Amino acid sequence: MGSKQRVLYLVRHAKSSWKDPSLADRNRPLNDRGARNAPDMGRRLAAHGHVPGLIVTSPAKRALMTARAIAGELGIAEADIVVEDDLYFHGSLGMLRVLEQVDDRHGKVMIVGHNPTITHVLNDLADTGIHNMVTCAVAIVGLDMDSWSEVGETFGDLLGYGFPKGREDFSLKG
């Protein structure tokens, strides 16, 4: 195992709208609650010094809107938000494949994706006891590895967890 701490922020997209049934799943936007929760979670992360250097998001509109809202509160530039098709319905292997390709200069990376994949990857990487990440939940995982290419072989620690209705504010465990 490596010697460098890397931090992974796993985010389930905020609550989406089902108002227009004619929209393809990929094109559903956030609803009003989701549009409030995403920037709020960004502010909560910022208040605790949790600022990733890179955000990788699913191309689904609701995920991209979540990523942009959080990034805005964290002061992350649009250029540091990468849209990755493998995060949209490509399962855990697709998400791990995306992570394995992250440039190692990024020590802290945020992934914005969908359930059940986001919860599965969380539990593949750390012993969390979390069986369902609710919309706009953020899990913070510490991984002891030199390179993101090691992510599939590394088991980390849950450093924090928060969600819109929760009182948890990403306090570090241990």
For the stretch 107-152, pLDDT in tens is 999 999 999 999 999 999 998 989 999 999 999 999 999 999 999 8
117 domain residue, yes or no: yes
**What is the CATH number for 122?**
3.40.50.1240
Number of domains composing the chain: 1
62 domain residue, yes or no: yes
Structure tokens at 102: 């992250």
172 domain residue, yes or no: no
Structure tokens at 63: 């995920």
Domain holding 151, by residue range, is 5-162
167 domain residue, yes or no: no
129 domain residue, yes or no: yes
For the stretch 64-92, pLDDT in tens is 999 999 999 999 999 999 999 999 989 99
174 domain residue, yes or no: no
pTM of the model: 0.94
Long-range Cβ contacts of 92-97 (<8 Å, 24+ apart):
92/117, 92/120, 92/121, 92/124, 95/121, 96/121, 96/124, 96/151, 96/152
171 domain residue, yes or no: no
43 domain residue, yes or no: yes
- The answer to whether the beta carbons of residues 15 and 37 sit under 8 Å apart is yes
